[in-house]
């Protein structure tokens, strides 16, 4: 148990004698402390003040915000770390960014961006004077102002925090392929309890010191969350040391509550850590020693809410959970106003800012300049560094489709060949990686391994398969890590694609949320430059599961995605390889989106030539004339489909219908861009009502076979004219069996059910309907029986090909139906 003194005496002046303990001279110590005080002053000011920013007049109630929001607790620690990182950046001309896991410590990063001048550069309204400081204070966590988190609005931020867990994953993603970049990453001890952060430490098994930069994790052990202590602060120091050593780090401890002593310890530890990093880099780069090193990390144990009043209203505040957010509320109490004034004055603002509110030049000079400022490092505004990928012509990977359905191919594998060559062309640029939770090959991207390897810095055995320190395929069995690394890689200006089983992508629902919201906000910040889109490839999808059963079926990620702002989300369900190629090309060229691509990996019939595919993807949806027989007229029924398996089943259903009732006019519509279905008022891709009506008719039955949950289609189309005639079949949480679930017939989104739906909606079929329906129903039962006996589809079903009957002259009709027409 480490005993922390109450920090009541923490605000004594730094004097020369204190310099004896460490690397800082007395002058350095004094100026470092002054810089820290300045950022602390600005942090408190943002949380509390509306006016009177320099406390030139006695503090009154009307100078204080009516509602107090923000997190003080973590800010003084973040501030001290920032000031000390500045020292080594400036001294060694380091390229460094700062990832703040406790992202609600927004006041801290805003304060430093302001002290460094960056803030006024990007927000000229917030100047380096008294009026500017007043505005800086007022805008914080205020309507029309800025968030209390380290949000996109904050210069220097690539990580908003707030939802905890992803700081290290983001930091490592940023460090990949940035060989001179040090990502200082503060991990709150609260965040350290989360799962994603707990595995985030292990990212060092994937960081190559010859090729990548480095992450310097700093565990900010201030001991408390909102209302509870953190367990890493409540285990013996020896356990904590072993914990980090066991994960491959060399931990350095900085512990105390006396500012001077902590300044000296921290300066010494940072000197050591930076030297370690430079030695590791030199070892790997100059001496070719590419092995996993013991990277340094820092345990920074200082009081929560450090330097705020030790007690307020007789209750412990500094060094306790009560200082987590606003240490003192209810500012209608005159006593509280006096406490606040005393607290802020304890930082001695008159020594820090001149009369006009400008930061003293001798202190400002302590910060690095230009792009070396962490608040202005281009890596923290990755769009500035973004360069287009070199890309081959996706048409060169086209699957030959002499006639619809004539070719069998694995769409995902075709995509993999395209990705392989993109990877190859960008090996030198070092700006493209693929991410997957051990599913790269399973999802059929294995061709990529012809030109690169899987990245691995843990031990490699001779018979390992394509593992190497310089691999560009990132495989770890953690969807959180894949997502977090990719996000970190993208926001720092690079490109990537995430391959995942559809069922497991829900694991990162909340991470997707945060990234989509980040992008949405960035769209309104002129100085944030667009970044490459976050691209998901979801395969091993709900209709083709193989080794996974009912418990691993869920097509609902797209439902989740469409809830986000239409400006930033795109969803594609290409029905075959050529459409998938076209979509892939589009996704990798797009910016500031989240693109979700869902397609299968199994051998499946191919429908469109490349020319047709390009047109189809450009339109986003359209009539497949070759499958329709309504040319120039209104159809009797519209058969719509979205997704590869629904497309297959729809076409098989269409063939059954055309075989049995050739005079029925059927229109087949395929949807590749899901958002086309929404009204244009809801999504920029949305089809106009006029076009929608022209395609889907105003009153004819629509049988829609959909990849996902059926109500998503209803949700997207409920305002359309013909919505009342729309019947959707999709994935249902039913199933007469729980395993294995490849057979669409068991989830009732098969050709037989689709045909039955058509019959049910066409009264004009009259007496024929009953016979046709019975024939279809018998086929369905026969098929089910076969499946239960043999565990597989009937060969006539699995081997079905489009056009075998339909194109052989006059359609064959069974005598039963013919006799009773």
Window 228-287: residues binding its own copies (CB under 8 A): 228-231, 234-235, 239-248
- What residues between 564 and 593 interact with its own copies by CB under 8 A? 564-565
Taking the least distance from each CB to its own copies, the nearer of 164 and 262 is: 164
- What residues between 779 and 808 interact with its own copies by CB under 8 A? 787-788, 790-792
Taking the least distance from each CB to its own copies, the nearer of 396 and 459 is: 459
- What residues between 491 and 510 interact with its own copies by CB under 8 A? 503-504, 506-507, 509-510
Residue 323 · residue 317 · CB < 8 Å: yes
What angle do helix axes 644-660 and 751-760 make, rounded to 10 degrees? 50
Taking the least distance from each CB to its own copies, the nearer of 576 and 756 is: 756
Taking the least distance from each CB to its own copies, the nearer of 296 and 368 is: 296
Cα dihedral sign for 353, 306, 260, 13?
positive
548 binds its own copies (CB under 8 A): yes
Taking the least distance from each CB to its own copies, the nearer of 97 and 164 is: 164
HSE (CB half, 13 Å, CA atoms) of 624?
26
Burial class of 709 by CB neighbour count within 10 A (0 to 12, 13 to 18, 19+): buried
459 binds its own copies (CB under 8 A): yes
Residue 815 Cβ vs its own copies, minimum distance, rounded to whole Å = 32
Selected from 560, 761, 768, 779, the binder of its own copies by CB under 8 A is: 560
721 binds its own copies (CB under 8 A): no
**Rounded CA gap, 159 and 761, in Å?**
53
Burial 712-750 (b: 16+ CB within 10 A, else e): bbbebbeebebeebbbbbbbeeeeeeeeebbbbbbbbbb
Taking the least distance from each CB to its own copies, the nearer of 43 and 578 is: 43
Residue 205 Cβ vs its own copies, minimum distance, rounded to whole Å = 4
Q: How far is CA 719 from CA 677, 679, 691, 697, 713, in A?
A: 10, 8, 14, 14, 11
**Rounded CA gap, 515 and 644, in Å?**
28
Residue 54 · residue 130 · CB < 8 Å: yes
Closest alpha carbon to 491 in 567, 381, 373, 388: 381
Binding piece for its own copies, criterion CB under 8 A, among 30-38, 415-423, 476-484, 807-815: 476-484
Taking the least distance from each CB to its own copies, the nearer of 185 and 367 is: 185
Q: How far is CA 544 from CA 93, 443, 552, in A?
A: 54, 12, 11
Q: What is the dihedral of CA 168, 169, 174, 176, to 10 degrees?
A: 110
Residue 499 Cβ vs its own copies, minimum distance, rounded to whole Å = 12
Q: By CB under 8 A, how many residues form the interface with its own copies? A: 127
Residue 465 · residue 183 · CB < 8 Å: no
Residue 263 Cβ vs its own copies, minimum distance, rounded to whole Å = 26
Residue 253 Cβ vs its own copies, minimum distance, rounded to whole Å = 14
Residue 439 Cβ vs its own copies, minimum distance, rounded to whole Å = 7
Binding mask 293-322 for its own copies (x = CB under 8 A): -----------------------x---xx-
Closest alpha carbon to 539 in 529, 530, 548: 548
**Rounded CA gap, 574 and 596, in Å?**
11
**Rounded CA gap, 33 and 27, in Å?**
10
Residue 147 Cβ vs its own copies, minimum distance, rounded to whole Å = 4
DSSP string for residues in 490-524: HHTT-EEEEEEEGGGGGGGHHHHHHHHHHHHHHTT
812 binds its own copies (CB under 8 A): no
Q: How far is CA 720 from CA 639, 667, 713, in A?
A: 17, 18, 11
Selected from 33, 410, 421, 475, the binder of its own copies by CB under 8 A is: 475
**Rounded CA gap, 85 and 477, in Å?**
33
Residue 493 Cβ vs its own copies, minimum distance, rounded to whole Å = 21
Taking the least distance from each CB to its own copies, the nearer of 302 and 325 is: 325
Task: Give backbone dihedrals phi and psi of 104, rounded to 5 degrees, phi first.
Answer: -70, -5
Taking the least distance from each CB to its own copies, the nearer of 395 and 685 is: 685
- What residues between 22 and 61 interact with its own copies by CB under 8 A? none
Residue 361 Cβ vs its own copies, minimum distance, rounded to whole Å = 33
- What residues between 171 and 190 interact with its own copies by CB under 8 A? 190
Selected from 261, 620, 740, 803, the binder of its own copies by CB under 8 A is: 740
- What is the 3 state secondary structure string of 591-630? ECCEEEEECCCCEEEECCCHHHHHHHHHHCEEECHHHCCC
Alpha helices in 434-508 (DSSP H): 479-491
**Rounded CA gap, 42 and 39, in Å?**
5
409 binds its own copies (CB under 8 A): no
Residue 512 Cβ vs its own copies, minimum distance, rounded to whole Å = 9
Closest alpha carbon to 480 in 453, 444, 504: 504
The DSSP output letter for 436 is: E
Closest alpha carbon to 186 in 204, 171, 174, 207: 171
637 binds its own copies (CB under 8 A): no
Taking the least distance from each CB to its own copies, the nearer of 4 and 425 is: 4
Residue 282 Cβ vs its own copies, minimum distance, rounded to whole Å = 23
Selected from 180, 330, 332, 546, the binder of its own copies by CB under 8 A is: 546
**Rounded CA gap, 622 and 669, in Å?**
5
Selected from 197, 269, 651, 668, the binder of its own copies by CB under 8 A is: 197
Taking the least distance from each CB to its own copies, the nearer of 193 and 271 is: 193
743 binds its own copies (CB under 8 A): yes
Taking the least distance from each CB to its own copies, the nearer of 503 and 668 is: 503
Residue 704 Cβ vs its own copies, minimum distance, rounded to whole Å = 13
Binding piece for its own copies, criterion CB under 8 A, among 219-227, 279-287, 370-378, 695-703: 219-227
**Rounded CA gap, 650 and 203, in Å?**
45
- What residues between 672 and 711 interact with its own copies by CB under 8 A? 709, 711
Taking the least distance from each CB to its own copies, the nearer of 152 and 368 is: 152
Taking the least distance from each CB to its own copies, the nearer of 91 and 316 is: 316
Residue 237 Cβ vs its own copies, minimum distance, rounded to whole Å = 11
193 binds its own copies (CB under 8 A): yes
- What is the 3 state secondary structure string of 278-339? HHHHHHHHCCCCCCCCCEEEEEEECCCCCCCCCEECCEECCCCHHHCCCCCCCCCCHHHHHH
- What residues between 118 and 157 interact with its own copies by CB under 8 A? 141-149, 151, 153
Taking the least distance from each CB to its own copies, the nearer of 469 and 635 is: 469
Selected from 377, 452, 514, 650, the binder of its own copies by CB under 8 A is: 514
Binding piece for its own copies, criterion CB under 8 A, among 12-20, 26-34, 223-231, 661-669: 223-231
Q: How far is CA 735 from CA 64, 160, 741, 743, in A?
A: 61, 41, 8, 10
Residue 510 Cβ vs its own copies, minimum distance, rounded to whole Å = 4
- What residues between 66 and 105 interact with its own copies by CB under 8 A? 66-67, 69-71, 104
**Rounded CA gap, 98 and 323, in Å?**
23
């Amino acid at each position: 148990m480490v005993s922390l003194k109450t920090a009541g005496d923490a605000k004594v002046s730094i004097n020369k004698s204190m310099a004896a303990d460490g690397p800082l001279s007395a002058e350095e110590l004094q100026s470092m402390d002054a810089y820290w005080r300045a950022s602390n002053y600005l942090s408190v000011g943002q949380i509390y003040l509306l006016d009177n920013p320099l406390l030139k007049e006695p503090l009154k109630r009307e100078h204080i915000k009516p509602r107090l929001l923000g997190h003080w607790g973590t800010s003084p620690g973040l501030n001290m770390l920032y000031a000390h990182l500045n020292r080594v950046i400036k001294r060694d001309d380091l390229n460094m960014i700062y990832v703040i896991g406790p992202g609600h410590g927004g006041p801290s990063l805003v304060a430093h961006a302001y002290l460094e001048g960056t803030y006024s550069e990007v927000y000229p309204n917030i100047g380096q004077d008294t009026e500017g400081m007043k505005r800086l204070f007022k805008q914080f966590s205020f309507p029309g102002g800025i968030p209390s988190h380290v949000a996109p609005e904050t210069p220097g931020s690539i990580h908003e925090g707030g939802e905890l867990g992803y700081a290290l994953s983001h930091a490592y993603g940023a460090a990949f392929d940035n060989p001179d970049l040090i990502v200082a990453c503060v991990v709150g001890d609260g965040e350290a309890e989360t799962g994603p952060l707990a595995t985030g430490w292990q990212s060092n098994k994937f960081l190559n010191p010859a090729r990548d930069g480095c992450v310097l994790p700093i565990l900010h052990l201030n001991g408390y969350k909102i209302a509870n202590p953190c367990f890493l602060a409540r285990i013996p120091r020896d356990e904590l040391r072993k914990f980090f050593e066991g994960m491959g780090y060399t931990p350095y401890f900085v512990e105390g509550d006396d500012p001077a002593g902590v300044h000296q310890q921290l300066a010494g530890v940072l000197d050591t850590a930076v030297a370690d990093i430079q030695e590791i880099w030199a070892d790997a780069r100059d001496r070719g020693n590419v092995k996993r090193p013991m990277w340094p990390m820092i345990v920074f144990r200082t009081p929560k809410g450090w330097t705020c009043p030790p007690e307020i209203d007789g209750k412990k505040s500094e060094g306790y959970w009560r200082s987590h957010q606003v240490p003192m509320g209810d500012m209608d109490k005159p006593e509280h106003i006096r406490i606040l004034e005393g607290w802020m004055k304890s930082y001695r603002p008159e020594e820090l800012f001149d009369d006009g509110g400008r930061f003293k030049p001798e202190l400002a000079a302590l910060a690095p300049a230009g792009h070396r400022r962490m608040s202005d490092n281009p890596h923290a505004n990755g769009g500035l560094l973004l360069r287009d990928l070199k890309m081959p012509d996706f048409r060169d990977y086209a699957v030959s489709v002499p006639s619809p359905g004539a070719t069998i191919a694995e769409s995902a594998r075709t995509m993999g060949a395209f990705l392989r060559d993109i990877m190859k062309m960008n090996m030198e640029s070092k700006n493209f990686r693929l991410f997957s939770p051990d599913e790269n090959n399973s999802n059929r991207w294995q061709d990529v391994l012809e030109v690169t390897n899987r990245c691995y810095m843990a031990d490699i055995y001779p018979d390992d398969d394509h593992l190497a320190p310089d691999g560009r395929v990132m495989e770890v069995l953690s969807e959180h890590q894949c997502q977090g690394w990719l996000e970190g890689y993208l926001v720092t200006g690079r490109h990537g694609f995430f391959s995942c089983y559809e069922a497991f992508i829900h694991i990162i629902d909340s991470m997707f949320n945060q990234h989509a919201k980040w992008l949405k906000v960035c769209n309104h910040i002129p100085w944030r430059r667009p970044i490459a889109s976050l691209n998901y490839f979801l395969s091993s999808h709900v209709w083709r599961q193989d080794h996974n059963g009912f418990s691993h079926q869920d097509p609902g990620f797209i439902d989740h995605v469409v809830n986000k702002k239409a400006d930033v989300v795109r969803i594609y369900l290409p029905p075959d390889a050529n459409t998938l190629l076209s979509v892939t090309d589009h996704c990798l060229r797009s910016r500031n989106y989240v693109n979700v691509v869902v397609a299968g990996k199994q051998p499946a019939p191919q429908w469109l030539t490349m020319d047709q595919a390009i047109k189809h993807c450009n339109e986003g949806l359209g009539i497949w004339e070759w499958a329709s027989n309504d040319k120039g007229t209104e159809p009797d029924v519209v058969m719509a489909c979205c997704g590869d398996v629904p497309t297959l089943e729809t076409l098989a259903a269409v063939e059954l219908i055309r075989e049995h009732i050739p005079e029925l006019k059927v229109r087949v519509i395929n949807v590749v861009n899901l958002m086309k279905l929404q009204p244009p008022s809801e999504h920029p891709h949305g089809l106009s009502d006029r076009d929608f009506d022209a395609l889907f008719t105003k009153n004819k039955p629509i049988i829609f076979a959909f990849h996902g949950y059926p109500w998503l289609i209803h949700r997207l189309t409920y305002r359309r004219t013909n919505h009342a005639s729309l019947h959707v079949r999709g994935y249902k949480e039913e199933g007469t069996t729980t395993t294995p679930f490849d057979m669409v017939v068991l989830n009732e989104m098969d050709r037989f059910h689709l045909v039955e739906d058509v019959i049910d909606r066409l009264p004009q079929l009259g007496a024929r309907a009953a016979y046709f329906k019975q024939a279809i129903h018998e086929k369905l039962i026969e098929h089910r029986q076969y499946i239960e006996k043999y565990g597989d589809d009937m060969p006539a079903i699995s081997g079905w090909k489009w056009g075998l009957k339909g194109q052989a002259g006059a359609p064959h009709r069974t005598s039963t139906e013919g006799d009773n027409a």
